[in-house]
C-alpha cells in the first residue's frame, strides 16, 4: 500500500511537470480511474476517451486502456505525445483482424461500405470507410442502411449480429470476438436470474446473442452506466468487464452489482469478466511512462494515420 501511495503522489507531480493528462477506460483498475478523476483527467468509454484527448490542451496524453485507444489518440492529435502504460496491452478483436486478411475480405465485396469497430489497428481503420464504437454503432449503421448501403462489418461478430438484428441492414461479417464478453454464459445467467428475480440484467453487445436476449438493457459501457441509474431495480447483474463497477457504483451508490457468470458448470473461462490487457495498466507503469517515454510512446505511420483519420473523423462528425 505504501508503494502505491508513493506512486500516486509521484504521478500527480509528474503530470503537472510534463503537462500531461491521464485518460482512463472504465475497465482499468479502480485506483487508476480514481487517479484520473483526482488529477483533472477523465474516465470514459472509447468514444469519449477519443474526444476528450483530442480536445484537451495538455501536450501529453497518457492513455490507460488498450493499444487501439492510444493509436486513436495519436491519429486525432499527431502533434501530441501519446503515452501508454503498456504498449503490449492489446485486444482480441484487434489481434484477430490482421489488415492483409481483412483487406482481402473487403476486396471480395467492392460494392459494400466498410464499417469497423474502433477496437482495430490503425491500418484496419485506414482500410475502412467508417469507424464506430459501441456507443454509436447502431445509429451509424441505421444511417447507412437508410441510404440503401450494404455493409461489411468487422471485427466483432456478436456486436455485428446485434446491430444486424436491430437495424435489419444488409451486413456481412468478419468473425472476431472479445475474449471477455464471449465468455458470458446464458444458461448460468438464467440460473442467476432465478436466484435474483428482482435484478435487472445489463449486457454489453459484444456478448453472445443468447446472453443479449436475457438483457433488460443492452449498450456500450457508458450506456450501461446510464441504464444502471435509470432502471428502478436495486440489484443489477452486469455482463461486461467488472472494471465498470467503480463508476457504476459511483453513479448508483445504493444499488447492488453482481458480475454475470462467465462459465457454466465450473468450466474455466478465458478471462473471467476482466480483460487481461486492461489489467496490464498499473500505477507503476504509468509512473514509468511519465519518467521515461521510451517503450511507452505510441507512434502511427503518418500515411496509415492519414487514412484512419478520414474514417475516424466521419464517426466524430456524425456523433457531434
Ligand atoms: P466501449 O466502446 O463501450 O468503451 O467498449 C470498448 C471495449 O473494449 C469493450 O470491450
Ligand atoms: Fe478488447 Fe474485449 Fe478487452 Fe474490450 S474487453 S479491450 S473488446 S479484449
Q: What is the ipTM of this complex?
A: 0.97
pLDDT digits (tens, 9 = 90+) for 91-113: 999 999 999 999 999 999 999 99
Reported as half-sphere exposure (CB side, CA atoms, 13 A), residue 168 has a value of: 1
The residue ranges of DSSP E strands in the chain, in sequence order, are: 20-25, 42-44, 60-64, 81-83, 113-117, 130-132, 151-154, 171-173, 199-203, 217-218, 235-239, 256-259
Residue 105 phi/psi, 5-degree rounding, is -60, -45
* Cα 4 from Cα 29, distance rounded (Å): 13
Q: What is the mean pLDDT of residues 36-49?
A: 94
Lining ligand 2 with CB less than 6 A are: 27, 66, 91-93, 119, 178-180, 206, 241, 275, 277-278
Q: What is the mean pLDDT of residues 87-91?
A: 98
Among 118, 67, 119, 69, residue whose Cα is nearest residue 93: 119
Predicted confidence (pLDDT) at residue 265 exceeds the cutoff of 80: no
Position 266 scores a pLDDT of: 47
Say what the pTM is.
Answer: 0.94
21 sits in which H/E element: strand 20-25
Q: What is the mean pLDDT of residues 20-46?
A: 96
pLDDT digits (tens, 9 = 90+) for 290-319: 999 999 999 999 999 999 999 999 999 999
Cβ(206) – ligand 1 distance below 6 Å: yes
Distance 280 CA to ligand 2 centre (A): 12
Domains of the chain and CATH, by start: 2-89+278-299 (3.40.50.10800), 93-173 (3.40.50.10800), 181-266 (3.40.50.10800)
Q: Which residues 6+ apart lie within 8 Å of 227 measured at CB?
A: 200, 202, 216, 217, 219
pLDDT digits (tens, 9 = 90+) for 144-186: 999 999 999 999 999 999 999 999 999 999 999 999 999 999 9
- Nearest atom in ligand 1 to 278's CA: 8
- Residue 106 in marked binding region: no
pLDDT-above-70 percentage for the chain: 96
- Residue 269 in marked binding region: no
* Cα 170 from Cα 148, distance rounded (Å): 9
Position 270 scores a pLDDT of: 62
- Nearest atom in ligand 2 to 206's CA: 7
Predicted confidence (pLDDT) at residue 272 exceeds the cutoff of 90: no
- Residue 26 in marked binding region: no
Kindly indicate the confidence band of residue 218, based on its pLDDT and cuts at 50, 70 and 90. very high
Cβ-contact 112, 150 below 8 angstroms: yes
pLDDT digits (tens, 9 = 90+) for 252-264: 999 999 999 987 5
- Residue 91 in marked binding region: yes
Q: Which amino acid residue places its CA nearest to atom 6 of ligand 1? A: 46
Q: What is the mean pLDDT of residues 196-200?
A: 97
What the block records as the C-alpha cell of 10 is 509521484
Amino acid at each position: 500500500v505504501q508503494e502505491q501511495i508513493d506512486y500516486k503522489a509521484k504521478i500527480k507531480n509528474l503530470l503537472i511537470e510534463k503537462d500531461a493528462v491521464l485518460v482512463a477506460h472504465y475497465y482499468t483498475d479502480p485506483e487508476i480511474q480514481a487517479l484520473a478523476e483526482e488529477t483533472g483527467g477523465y474516465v470514459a468509454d472509447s468514444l469519449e476517451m477519443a474526444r476528450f484527448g483530442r480536445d484537451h490542451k495538455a501536450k501529453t496524453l497518457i492513455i490507460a486502456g488498450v493499444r487501439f485507444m492510444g493509436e486513436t489518440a495519436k491519429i486525432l492529435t499527431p502533434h501530441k505525445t501519446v503515452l501508454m502504460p503498456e504498449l503490449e496491452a492489446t485486444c482480441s478483436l484487434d489481434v484477430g483482424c490482421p489488415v492483409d486478411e481483412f483487406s482481402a475480405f473487403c476486396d471480395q465485396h467492392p460494392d459494400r461500405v466498410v464499417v469497423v469497430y474502433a477496437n482495430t489497428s490503425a491500418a484496419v481503420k485506414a482500410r475502412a470507410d467508417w469507424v464506430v464504437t459501441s456507443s454509436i454503432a447502431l445509429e451509424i449503421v441505421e444511417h447507412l442502411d437508410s441510404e440503401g448501403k450494404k455493409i461489411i462489418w468487422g471485427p466483432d461478430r456478436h456486436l455485428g449480429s446485434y446491430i444486424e438484428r436491430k437495424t435489419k441492414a444488409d451486413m456481412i461479417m468478419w468473425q472476431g470476438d472479445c475474449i471477455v464478453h464471449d465468455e458470458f454464459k446464458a444458461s448460468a445467467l438464467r440460473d442467476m436470474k432465478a436466484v435474483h428475480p428482482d435484478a435487472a440484467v445489463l449486457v454489453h453487445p459484444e456478448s453472445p446473442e443468447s446472453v443479449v436476449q436475457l438483457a433488460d438493457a443492452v449498450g456500450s459501457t457508458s450506456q450501461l452506466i446510464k441504464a444502471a441509474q435509470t432502471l428502478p431495480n436495486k440489484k443489477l447483474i452486469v455482463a461486461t468487464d467488472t472494471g465498470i463497477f467503480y463508476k457504476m457504483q459511483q453513479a448508483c451508490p445504493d444499488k447492488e452489482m453482481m458480475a454475470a457468470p462467465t462459465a457454466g458448470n465450473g468450466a474455466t473461462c478465458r478471462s473471467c469478466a476482466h480483460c487481461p490487457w486492461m489489467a496490464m495498466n498499473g500505477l507503476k507503469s504509468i509512473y514509468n511512462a511519465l519518467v521515461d517515454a521510451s517503450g511507452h510512446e505510441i507512434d502511427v505511420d503518418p500515411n496509415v494515420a492519414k487514412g484512419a483519420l478520414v474514417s475516424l473523423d466521419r464517426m466524430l462528425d456524425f456523433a457531434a
